C-alpha cells in the first residue's frame, strides 16, 4: 500500500469522497490544504505532466465561471502565475505518491492505486447536487 499526499480544499465534499476511496483501497492518505501550500510555479508544474494547459484549471472556480480567467486561451507560464496567486484555480486534487505526481484522479498513479481504469464517479463536483455548497470553489 502507498502513502499518498493529497492536496485538497478543506470542506470540499468531492475531495472527502476521493480521500475515502483511496483509504478504502488500503492506502495511507496525508491530506494537505491546497490553499495554504506555498506553491511556486516550477513545483506546481510537476503535477500537470503532459496535460493540456486548459485542463490544469478547476473549472468550478468562481474566476473561471465569471469569465475573468479563460483556461482555453492562456499559456503555461501565465496559468502557473495565476495559480500561484490564487490556488482556487488549481484542478484538485493534486496527488504525490513517492514523487509521482498528477492533478485529478483520472491519471496514473491514481488509477493503479485504486485498481480502476476510470475515475468518472470520483471526479465531478458534488456541490451542485448538495444544498450545502462549498463556501469557495
Active site residues: 12
- Give the start-end residues of each E strand in 23-62: 28-33
Could you list the beta-strand ranges (E) of 42-99.
94-97
Backbone angles phi, psi at 123, to 5 degrees: -90, -30
User: β-pairing, 28-33 with 3-8?
Assistant: parallel
Half-sphere exposure of 8 (CA within 13 A, CB side): 22
Rounded Cα distance between 96 and 49, Å, is 12
Number of CB atoms found within 10 A of residue 3's CB: 11
Residue 32's beta-bridge partner residues? 7
Amino acid at each position: 500500500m502507498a502513502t499518498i499526499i493529497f492536496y485538497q480544499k478543506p470542506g470540499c465534499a468531492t475531495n472527502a469522497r476521493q480521500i475515502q476511496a483511496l483509504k478504502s483501497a488500503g492506502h495511507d492518505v496525508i491530506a494537505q490544504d491546497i490553499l495554504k501550500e506555498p506553491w511556486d510555479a516550477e513545483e506546481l508544474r510537476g503535477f500537470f505532466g503532459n496535460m493540456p494547459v486548459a485542463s490544469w484549471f478547476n473549472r468550478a472556480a468562481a474566476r473561471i465561471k465569471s469569465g475573468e480567467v479563460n483556461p482555453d486561451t492562456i499559456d503555461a507560464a501565465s496559468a502557473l502565475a495565476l495559480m500561484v496567486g490564487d490556488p482556487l484555480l488549481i484542478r484538485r486534487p493534486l496527488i504525490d505518491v513517492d514523487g509521482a505526481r498528477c492533478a485529478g484522479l483520472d491519471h496514473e498513479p491514481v488509477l493503479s492505486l485504486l485498481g480502476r481504469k476510470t475515475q468518472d464517479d470520483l471526479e465531478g463536483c458534488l456541490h451542485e447536487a448538495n444544498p450545502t455548497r462549498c463556501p469557495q470553489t
